[in-house]
Amino acid sequence: MLPLPPDVARDLPALLDRALAEDVGDGDVTTEATIPAGTRATARFLLKEDGVVAGLAVAERVFEAVDPDLAVAWTAADGDHLEAGTVFGEVTGRARSILVAERLALNLMQRMGGVATAAARFAEAARPATVLDTRKTAPGLRALDKWAVRLGGAANHRTGLYDMVLVKDNHVAAAGGVRAAAEAVDRHLRETGRDVPVEIEARTLDEVDAVLAAHADGLRVDRVLLDNFARPAPEGGVDTAPLAAAVERVGGRIQTEASGNVTLDTVGAVARTGVDFVSTGALTHSVRALDVSLKVVLDGA
């Protein structure tokens, strides 16, 4: 069976239990009415557009959860770039079981494939900067969404609210300014003994200077988030001059991350400013599903 990342392996059983209960309830009444109990079948996965396939290992667990006797075989792997028309796997066994598992397996593969494909396109357009995802994931599917991002060649930002400090505008306002927020974070980490990266958002060059001053004075600051420094240009596209000025101001003293107004059309220009990271919610918050189908053929048909 294909391997799963530890976080996915931990979360997936409960997710599949909920998803199958939601979809199947006390039985697939249509399949039970139309497919004789002993009927066997073979179903083949077909990619209907160019893209990065993802979720193959997850689909295996769906079929196993429905019927451990189903046999799944692949001619591709998670993260492979395939062309439209490629048949990349098949499942054989009881026809009823295949039909019960079909929609959940496809839903997860299509979403993960869509995320991975978007991540691959952003990552290619942004080189040499690293493209990061955000927490704008489907609730309950974060581990799968973030794995799909990695399969596509982009990288993960923080997983949740617990594994990184990210001081944004509301935190800055509540703390009384960038310096006060940086001091509060540094004090909290020392008092609690927590060792997590610290990133602080800046919206102006003055705030960039405040972040750099905090770092220079020994406060824990690993990265500055340059939010909306790349701005829509009146003639279309994006004006990256303010972002380039901010990156130059930082001068490599800490990591830089750009966010805001990042699309597939603009990410290349944003990356060319020399920023280290570019983050975008577009990888996960409104991704278009990858078109994958599963054609079921009954034995003897």
Contact by Cβ (8 Å): 110, 288: no
Helix H, strand E, coil C: the string for 242-272 is HHHHHHHHHCCCCEEEEECCCCCCCHHHHHC
Query: What are the catalytic residues?
Result: 103, 136, 168, 201, 227
What are the residues whose beta carbons fall under 8 Å from the beta carbon of 75, sequence distance 6 or more? 87, 88, 89
- Other beta carbons less than 10 A from residue 214's beta carbon: 24
- Other beta carbons less than 10 A from residue 119's beta carbon: 29
Amino acid identity, residue 128?
A: P
CA distances from 269 to 81, 90, 118, 261 (A): 25, 42, 17, 11
Contact by Cβ (8 Å): 63, 72: yes
- Other beta carbons less than 10 A from residue 83's beta carbon: 9
